[in-house]
Amino acid sequence: MKKALILAGAAVLALVSCNKNPESQPVDYSQFNVRIEPVITRATETNFENGDQIGLTILRAAGAYAENARLTYDGAAFSGDLKWYEEGTEASTLKAYYPYASTFPTSFTVAADQSAGTASSDFVSAVKEEVLPTANEVAMVFKHRLSRLVVTAQNNSGMPIESVVFKGIIPTATIADDLTATVSASAEAIDIKAFADGDKYYAIVPGQKVALEVVVTAGGKALSQKLTEATLEAGKQYSVSIIVNKDEIKVVLAGEIENWGDGGEISGEGSDEDFVENLEEGYFTYAGVKYDVVKMKDGKWWMAQNLAYLPEGYTPATELSAVTAGVFAPIQVNAAKTAAEFTTDPAVVAKNGYLYQAEVALGLKVGDLKSVEEAQALEGAQGICPQGWHVPTGADIIALVGKAVSPLSNNPDAPYYNGANGSISLLNADGFNMDAFGAVSIQDNTKTAGTFMGWASGYPDKISSGMFCGSTYASVTYNTSGDETSGVKNLQFFGFMPMTNKATEADYTCNGTKVSYRIAGPVRCVRD
């Protein structure tokens, strides 16, 4: 993307340069259509779809050049009949919003029944200043202006869930001139019926302070549960975990698990600490550290380096006996090239990041996870990633590299699958910067010491394997095999496993694997 913009800019400069010839005419920008390239992840978890429409207003110093012009998405950009003004040196401010309305919105009301889908209730907008007319697309970052509730349901009732309804929600937001949204003070509360997708249920609502009540209907029987009062912030997503039994439901509002746009944090580590995202330039800054990011051929933005964020209260461990430390220093090959060792060298930390045990990576503390249900509820969690990003899911991994262990199914159409494995060389050709960074192997929660993972005598000069953290639950073992009442001994999540113990770089692999929750590995966040 960055290279394309640079080339496009060079082309326009060349055009202007040619017009320095006194016999040439100045560039008439009114011959070029206004085209808007969106940068956004929609509430449907996909990008904008063909046929989607936005409203665009262009403001110049003298007033409005265009008001609420309707532009339609063609798979790459929004465009219509609107053309630029002729003067190429006068900048303007662009304001765009979705979904399109016949008049520029001053308020927005979500649907009471969202069971058919949430897209029409997902108000998003973008504002960009100092825009000059151009023959190229103008990249605009669209932000979600409402809140999203995501219910994960574990159904133990033996009956199908027929509906999930949130009671007492104010459905209307007032839209400000800058296209931000605040809950309407005069609108009355209603019930919102959620959209079902497998065992997850979605509803989009204006940000507000509310004491949620969830009603689940299963087998014709309605079961309800009230939650404590919570503040839903605009642009953020919250997780609600439901366990449906035959005669009761248990509901937990887990707090913010990810974030669509700007805003503070309700709960969870590190969601708004000095976070500045600049996708157009290919980076974000988080807690004072700048990280490269890249949009891969799976259509998603990924970190192009490992996370080096240190949650409050943690000191990176440098002892293999620190089996509940949560965060470990990175590892490297020792000077004698006979083994791996910890290092606190700032240059290595910056290059390789820290090693995290799964519970800390997912925003908890070591020892917090005590059941399969709690592990399942963490899929897609923001964890220690910055706002708007999350710890990769099994679906993220398969869509990227195409191969993983069972029960995940291989995806031969994944862009970085070479026909046999996920390919590090293919990933890195597109700027992913994957390598084998090693890990601290701790088999389960009964162990009192870990071991280094990654160094092998056959490849003494480098760390040649490792494991990355993921957020999708994979498996469980109990203290007594098969006996849930004996307590959890180990939980596994699906993560990445890079392997560079091969003859040539072209043979290096990066596949999905199961990672025990006490193993400490790197984290690569992916954008929501």
Confidence category of residue 226, pLDDT binned at 50, 70, 90: confident
Instruction: Take residue 239 and report the two structure tokens written for it.
Output: 């997780």
Closest alpha carbon to 84 in 19, 26, 127, 35? 35
Inter-residue contact 362 to 391 (CB < 8 Å): yes
155-175: pLDDT as tens digits? 877 888 999 999 999 999 999
Confidence category of residue 257, pLDDT binned at 50, 70, 90: very low
489-511: pLDDT as tens digits? 999 999 999 999 998 999 999 99
Exposure string for 282-310, b = 16+ CB within 10 A, e = fewer? bbbebbebebebbbbebebbbbbbbbbbb
The reported pLDDT for the residue numbered 25 is: 63
Question: Which residues have C-beta within 8 Å of that of residue 10, sequence separation ≥ 6?
Answer: none
CA distances from 59 to 62, 131, 309, 471 (A): 8, 10, 40, 44
Confidence category of residue 247, pLDDT binned at 50, 70, 90: low
CA distances from 435 to 428, 432, 510, 522 (A): 9, 9, 9, 11
- The Cα–Cα gap between 438 and 453 comes to 5
Instruction: Take residue 157 and report the two structure tokens written for it.
Output: 């009732």
Confidence category of residue 14, pLDDT binned at 50, 70, 90: very low
pLDDT at 523 over 70: yes
State the pairing for strand pair 221-232/208-218.
antiparallel
pLDDT at 7 over 70: no
State the pairing for strand pair 92-98/124-131.
antiparallel
Homologous superfamily of the 2-143 domain (CATH): Fimbrillin-like (2.60.40.2620)
Which of 18-22, 133-137, 221-225 has the least mean pLDDT?
18-22
- The Cα–Cα gap between 254 and 238 comes to 7
Instruction: Take residue 136 and report the two structure tokens written for it.
Output: 């190229």
pLDDT (average), residues 475-482: 94
pLDDT at 451 over 90: yes
pLDDT (average), residues 409-434: 96
- The Cα–Cα gap between 415 and 308 comes to 27
The fold of the 147-259 domain, in CATH, is Immunoglobulin-like (2.60.40)
Q: What is the mean pLDDT of the chain?
A: 87
73-104: pLDDT as tens digits? 998 899 999 999 998 889 999 999 999 999 99
Which of 86-100, 198-212, 458-472 has the least mean pLDDT?
198-212
The reported pLDDT for the residue numbered 239 is: 80
392-417: pLDDT as tens digits? 999 999 999 999 999 999 999 999 99
**Sheet of 483-499, strands arranged across:** 472-480, 483-499, 509-516
Closest alpha carbon to 38 in 116, 119, 98, 83? 98
pLDDT (average), residues 261-278: 46
Confidence category of residue 22, pLDDT binned at 50, 70, 90: very low
Closest alpha carbon to 517 in 404, 372, 416? 372
**Sheet of 389-390, strands arranged across:** 276-278, 283-286, 289-295, 301-303, 526-527, 389-390
Its pTM stands at: 0.53
273-291: pLDDT as tens digits? 567 888 888 999 898 899 9
The reported pLDDT for the residue numbered 323 is: 97
327-336: pLDDT as tens digits? 999 999 999 9
The answer to whether the 2-143 and 147-259 domains have the same CATH topology is: yes
The reported pLDDT for the residue numbered 3 is: 27
The reported pLDDT for the residue numbered 229 is: 74
Identify which has the larger pLDDT, 150 or 133. 133
Strands (DSSP E) contained in 61-159 are: 63-73, 78-79, 92-98, 107-109, 124-131, 138-141, 143-144, 147-155
Domain boundaries, the chain: 2-143, 147-259, 276-527
pLDDT at 268 over 60: no
End-to-end CA distance of the chain: 19
pLDDT at 136 over 50: yes
Confidence category of residue 228, pLDDT binned at 50, 70, 90: low
Confidence category of residue 265, pLDDT binned at 50, 70, 90: very low
